[in-house]
Structure 1
Amino acid sequence: MDLAASTPAPSNPTAACPTPPATERFLAPDLARGLMLALIAVANVMIYLHGRPYGLRQHTLTGNVVDQAVSAFLGVAVDARAYPLFAALFGYGIVQMIRRRQERGIAESQIRRTLRRRSVGLILFGALHAVLAFSGDILGWYGLLGVVLVRLLRLDDRALLVVASVWLAVAGAVQGVIFADPTPRAERSYFWSYTISDPLQAPGLRLLEWLMGPFGLAAVLSAMLVGAWAGRHRILEHPQRHRILLRRTAAIGITAGFAGGVGPALLGAGMWTPALPLTIAVSWLHVVTGVACGLGYAALIALVGASLTASGRDRHWSVRALQATGRTSLSCYVSQSVVFAALLPAAALGWGGWLGPAAAAALALATWALTVLAAAAWGERTGPAEAILARIIGGRRAPARATIRG
């Protein structure tokens, strides 16, 4: 698991990244996490809508032209794109955590034990989150993948990227089949719990839905592996040193992602009805380019962070608020679900039965904005969910100083 053994040394020793203080925060990773939560909110809120026909990827069909435009935009820019960004940052964070412990002289066996406890904590956290609020929870799946990732970190850079590429092709095929049917249906194919008005029956069904989740999210492991590779080279921590790579990744990844989302957008709008084999191929391409798009988003945010730092605008209150959101991303993620679960399911206030995709997207962005303000007000203290996870791991997390580096 020794990262140093699989990361090439810099050709110029003076170019090596200095070791930052343990409490120092870099802007780009936290900025990426803070902005990522806006995409996650918009993606997740759509799952709560119910009571009308369902189309491709379970998007609610209202017949309203604005709703259709929003659903099309989600197909191009958000669906299968937000969670790969989440996964890449998760993989990056694991490498950061390992490196910091290695630099403090902590034994490899203790690091492995901490990572296992963290993975178990995420699985438990995810199960509770799924039952109480959101069965589309990703935390449990990421906890399980974290165990896999730690084993794969023994590979060198080339092997790590090869595994990521091969897995993406295979997992993309599985997800492509799952999400290939654009036929409008009166009943849901999955995520049934949000249509059930019985508050006692819905939680049990949400647990079942949560257990089914990995089948529709298998491809995120590839993004996680690429994120770990980027973490080895500290690309998000020092974006100014990797501008060419980041620019290419942003341009190619986002362009490919948007292009790969056009087909599903047309299918979802009923403007194109190809034969089933072609529909599956289009769905597979949507998943594969979604991973590229998520990585492109991460690269673009890193470039923005570098520009903000270079211009001195990194001290603006809005940037600091987004960084605070990224620093408490677990708490903010769970908070979004609490709001949605209280307002939208049939077993709660039932707003999901009449809100369309456009209104739901507005609700999601408003909720995200509130979490940004709350994170800024919370300051440099450890987030509540982060503190609970730290307790599960078995240690205390010191409050992270918001010292910003490019």
Structure 2
Amino acid sequence: MSITSEGPVALSARALGPDLARGCMLLFIALANSHYFLTGPSPGTPIRGGFPVDGSALDAAVTWVIATFVDGRAFPMFGFLFGYGVAHIASRRAAAGATPRQVRRLLWRRSAVLIAVGAVDGILFFVGDILAMYGVLLLVGAWAVRWSDRWLLVVAGFFFLLNALPSADSSTVSTEGPDPSMLPPDLATLLAERPVVVAFIALVGPLGFACPFLLGLWAGRRRLLEQPERYRRLLTVVAVVGLAAAVLGAQPVALMLAGVTPVPGDGVLELIGPLHDATGVAGGLGSAALVTLLARPLEGLVEGRRGRVIDALAATGQRSMTCYLAQSVVWAVVFTPFLLGLAGTLTVTTTALLAVATWVATVVLADGLARHGRRGPFEVLVRRVTYR
């Protein structure tokens, strides 16, 4: 078989763990993205970390749950899985006889389609889109697939420490409401303001995701998530330590956002915001490890015998890009002022319910596609461009 005909892995040959992790974490992505649209019932409603702070006791409880288990925890896991998948692609191409230059060109084609799709999504639907950012990360990261293991870990550690430094720019403690580009009053404002914001996120965002991406490259070389019996001890340690660090490291921010503790001074805020974000990286790795360990007993079962829920979640992970973009359409319809415009009507709790309902709908969609033997349309697009 020629090098250029070496296509993507068949759905039936994919490991369950990574797909199951992606499918589950898309719920966290929905919960993390949707609450940042909220403005509160009146223009003067105080906002902290993307949450209106004058809600009910139930809203405070939901805020604590999202700040502890969701915000800053789901996206690092996706960055890790993204790097893991890139390592897998590079190793398969190299095994098929591709030169390093041919591997880079393939990854750059994948990067180009991610940037293009992400830019369209960011401008027309969800300005906080991360696909373009992942595309830029891959554009540079394509060179990293040939780095030594030691260099991958050193550079990953550098970016981890960089993002853990005291800073007043952490979104988890920000007092600002939604960026005007998130809730444009008309189509002309949308088209005028969003391209600049999308470009900024795409160019600056990779700094925050370089660490999990590089760790994903390192883990992907070892097929760590596909051989949990071989790496059980390491996965167990990462799951326990990572999740514990994420929960404990989130508490200063989570309790503050929930109104349990008072808002500290600026100096403390500059510490607890980066602490929340840094421990979120550990939580993302821990979540990936935990799902891999839990998925292993199901790995050998025939599809269908694992249960419809497990198969549907795995199908969602296999079509994660399509399901993620479907979420963007929902946010656009529900929150855009010249559409439904519910940013000032929904509460933290009802927005969380909307996020759960949106995720469930995408799971049903993915399951339906899987039962008809079809990939997601955007997965087909990426593969056609990448593999020509």
> If the length of structure 1 is used for normalisation, what is the TM-score?
0.86
Deviations, residues 49-108 of structure 1 (Å, cap 9, x unaligned)? 235534332223342111111112111111111110110010001011112222322333
Query: Which 5+ residue runs of structure 2 have no aligned equivalent?
Result: 1-7
Matched, 1:307 2:297: yes
Deviation, 1:131, is: 0.6
Matched to 1:236, the amino acid is L
Instruction: State which of 381, 387, 392 in structure 1 corresponds to 2:380.
Output: 387
Matched, 1:320 2:308: no
AA at the equivalent of 2:382: L
Cα 1:94/1:246, change in 2 over 3 Å: same
Closer, same or farther: CA 181–78 of 1 in aligned 2, 3 Å: closer
1:166 aligns with 2:155: no
The within-5 A match list for 1:1-400 is 22-23=9-10, 24-52=13-41, 53-173=45-165, 176-179=167-170, 182=173, 184=175, 188=177, 191-213=179-201, 215=204, 218-270=207-259, 271-309=261-299, 315-379=306-370, 380-393=373-386, 395=388
CA drift at 1:235:
0.8
In structure 2, how many angstroms separate the alpha carbons of the residues matched to 1:326 and 1:212? 28
Q: Flag the 1:141–1:181 CA change in 2: closer, same or farther, 3 A.
A: closer
Of residues 253-262 and 199-208 in structure 1, the stretch that sits farther from structure 2 once superposed is 199-208
Q: Shift in Å at residue 310 of structure 1?
A: 5.8
Aligned length: 371
Q: Report the CA distance between 1:169 and its aligned residue.
A: 1.1
Give 1:254 shift.
Answer: 0.5
Q: Structure 1's 217 and 280: CA in aligned 2 closer, same or farther, altered over 3 A?
A: farther
Q: 1:336 to 1:319 in 2, by over 3 A?
A: same
Distance 1:304 1:54, change over 3 A: farther
Contact 1:246 1:299 in 2 (8 A): yes
For 1:114 and 1:45, the matched residues in 2 are separated by: 34
Structure-1 residue corresponding to 2:5: none
Deviates more, 1:346-355 or 1:369-378: 346-355
Q: Give CA-to-partner distance per residue, 1:153-207, whole Å, 9 cap, x none.
A: 3222122111111111113337x4212784755xx3x522233322331243222
In the alignment, the residues of structure 2 paired with residue 239 and residue 181 of structure 1 have an alpha-carbon distance, to the nearest angstrom, of 34
* Residues 1:286 and 1:274: Cα distance change in structure 2 (over 3 Å): same
Aligned-partner residue type, residue 126 of structure 2 = F
In structure 1, runs of 5+ residues without a counterpart are 1-20, 396-406
CA distance in 2, matches of 1:235, 1:193: 40
Point out the more displaced range, 60-69 or 258-267.
Answer: 60-69
What do you get for the CA RMSD once the two structures are aligned?
2.2
SS at match of 2:343: helix
CA separation of 1:117/1:54 partners in 2, compared to 1, >3 Å: closer, same or farther? Answer: farther
